[in-house]
Amino acid sequence: MRRPKKYQSGEGTQYITRKQALRKLQLSLNDFRRLCIVKGIYPREPKHRRRAQRGSTDIKILYHTKDIKFLLHEPIVWTLRDYKIFARKTGRDRAIRDFKNLKRRINAFPELKIDHIVKERYPTFIDAIKDLDDCLTLLFLFSTFPSLKLIPRSQSILCRRLTIEFLHAIIAGKCLRKVFISIKGYYFQADIKGQKVTWIVPHYYPFQPQSKSEVDFKIMSIFVEFYAIMLGFVNFRLYHSLNLVYPPQFPAGLMQDSEETLSNESAFVSDRIAALNVDLMKSGESTVEEEEEDIDLELLNDESNPEKMQKLRQEAMEIKKLKTLFKGLKFFISREVPREPLVVIIRSFGGKVSWDKTMFPGATFDEHDTTITHQIVDRPSLEDKHISRDYVQPQWVFDSVNQRTLLPVNKYFIGVVLPPHLSPFVDPDRDTYIPPEEKALRDPSLIETKEDSDVEISDEEEEKKEENLDAQLEKAYQDEIADASADEAEKQENNEEEEDTNDPEKKRLKEKKKMAVVSGKPHKENKRLQHKAAIEEHKLQARMVKPRHRGLFRKLIRDQQVKEKEAWLLKKKRKNIEASEKEARKQKKREERRKMLGRA
């Protein structure tokens, strides 16, 4: 048997460079990128780069050879090649001014169909739902874009329609579970077919052009092209599982994409929000909402693990209660409040929502409706108020959903300093730093009930504290002197004992004196010695680890040190914030005293 030459087996044949792949597929770099994005093929990092690159030491982009071989049999490769032919022939027709033939070629433009690739990458519906996070985040971002050079208006319109259809499916299925406001946008998490899907809806800002070096819109547009087909399949399945008509039918005047809405960005956004406040038609004859099936808690019964079953039963009851959190409540949103996230949240949990019909389309009831229970306001004061409703800030809606109960509204009134908006996506039982607000929220007994007069420390109390500190330091100094004198006396006694060992009477008296009952002294632990003992113990643990496990042991120790450092930095930051707040309170109180003395 002939011995194979070097790099003819192993990693030398498993990888192929991008340049070799382009030569094999006979495609340009842009077409190759598009093909790889649609098919889900990405560069790979080999274990031994030099072997994979056949002795070359420079860094190259490598792909699996089998992935490139699969691309050779992909039908859309021929469509990408047809694009080249189309560009060459249309360019020739323009050059010779054969416009009749040019029109014929444009009408026969090759269409790129990727439906079969979506089915290939996601064989089941659950597989598609698991990969929805990035899809939704990117499509929600593109739905806010105007017409750009590399992003046609038709693509942003398609993204807008698909995202609205998905939000309607979330509202109808009552799948929403967690919400959060951040600098990036609004975080949403839904439970779809038992899978948790998290996405971001960006804040609405006027679009600002970015340089090509910062954002490559062409690459992002290729991802959107694939994700749009994928989300269309998902929406179709969701609507049929919810007994809804697909595509959804909106009232006349909404989602028509007229010249007015396409040219005016505010009208474009208002039309989108108005479409979310519409009840969709069901596929059956009756349009009455069907009552939800009660959860059969008897099925959640397992004698082998009763604690787990009790936890699952409690979770099921909480989710059942959460789905009807805002049922029977009517909300009115003021014009300064961002409406889109609030409309989705309120309608997902059974509430009704409206706004000023003179400012925005899609309102369902007027501001002066006496049945309104809550009005959401985000301004310091309001002139006209109704006594029959509660005026709250938008954070109340988000916090109520995360806590799965209607929180008291007194902390969310107009002009009130809001409590911290805590993220629901963190683990409550984590080992890292937990802020005191989160602890108090999970354990109400830790909430501080002291008044401001008890919290604010006056100058006299500060002076007393300083005097007490000086006294403690003086006392500690005297104790050190007394300990030193006691040590000297003990040494002298020892010397006397050595001298008087021959005298039995003196020896008996000293032993009797030692046996006398005296008051005890508190033992002070030396922190430096404790730290030293902990280091020695850690060294002993490291020595007992087997050589093959030392790398893992070091990694665990490094992770623990990183967590401890992060917790220490957060605690330090918290102390600095509290110190600055304390100083501000003291300064405010001093100014009030000066004003009172000036008046006197």
pLDDT, tens only, 136-162:
999 999 988 877 777 788 888 899 899
Does the pLDDT value for residue 449 go beyond 50? no
Does the pLDDT value for residue 431 go beyond 60? yes
| pLDDT at residue number 525 | 82
| pLDDT at residue number 300 | 55
Task: Supply the angle between the helices 29-39 and 217-241 in degrees, to the nearest 10.
Answer: 30
Pick from 373-387, 392-406, 463-477, 503-517: least confident: 463-477
Pick from 69-83, 264-278, 312-326: least confident: 264-278
Average pLDDT over residues 537-553: 87
Strands (E), 131-222: 176-181, 185-192, 195-202
Pick from 24-33, 194-203, 516-525: least confident: 516-525
- 410 versus 454: which is more confidently predicted? 410
Strands (E), 71-193: 176-181, 185-192
Q: How confident is the model at residue 475 (pLDDT cuts 50, 70, 90)?
A: low
Q: Which two structure tokens, joined as six digits, stand for 320?
A: 């059942």
- Which fold is adopted by the domain 327-418? Rossmann fold (3.40.50)
- On average, the pLDDT of the chain sits at 83
Pick from 205-219, 391-405, 508-522, 525-539: least confident: 205-219
- 244 versus 451: which is more confidently predicted? 244
Pick from 17-21, 259-263, 519-523, 569-573: least confident: 259-263
- Render pLDDT for 561-571 as a digit per residue (tens, 0 to 9): 888 898 889 88
- Render pLDDT for 267-321 as a digit per residue (tens, 0 to 9): 777 878 888 888 888 876 444 344 444 445 555 565 677 788 888 888 888 888 8
What CA–CA distance (Å, rounded) separates 330 from 544? 66
- 527 versus 68: which is more confidently predicted? 68
How many C-beta neighbours within 10 Å does residue 359 have?
Answer: 10
How many C-beta neighbours within 10 Å does residue 254 have?
Answer: 17
| pLDDT at residue number 464 | 63
| pLDDT at residue number 292 | 45
| pLDDT at residue number 35 | 92
| pLDDT at residue number 510 | 75
Average pLDDT over residues 252-276: 73
Output the furthest CA–CA distance in the chain (Å, rounded): 135
Average pLDDT over residues 326-336: 91
Query: Which sequence spans correspond to the domains of the chain?
Result: 11-107, 115-207+214-276, 327-418, 426-448+457-465+551-600
Average pLDDT over residues 23-47: 91
Q: What percent of the chain has pLDDT over 90?
A: 30
Pick from 91-95, 188-192, 261-265: least confident: 261-265
- 458 versus 473: which is more confidently predicted? 473
Please compute Rg for the chain using Cα positions: 36
Q: How confident is the model at residue 348 (pLDDT cuts 50, 70, 90)?
A: very high
- Render pLDDT for 177-227 as a digit per residue (tens, 0 to 9): 999 999 999 999 999 998 999 999 998 876 666 666 677 888 888 999 999
Q: How confident is the model at residue 260 (pLDDT cuts 50, 70, 90)?
A: low
DSSP 281-319: PBSSS--SPPPPPPP-GGGS--TT-HHHHHHHHHHHHHH
Does the pLDDT value for residue 457 go beyond 50? no
Q: What percent of the chain has pLDDT over 70?
A: 83
Burial call 377-397: b when 16+ CB within 10 Å, e when fewer: beeeeeeeeeeebbbbbbbbb
Does the pLDDT value for residue 52 go beyond 80? yes
| pLDDT at residue number 392 | 93
Residue 553 corresponds to which amino acid?
A: F
Q: Which of 429, 419, 383, 413 is nearest to 399 (CA)?
A: 419
| pLDDT at residue number 290 | 43
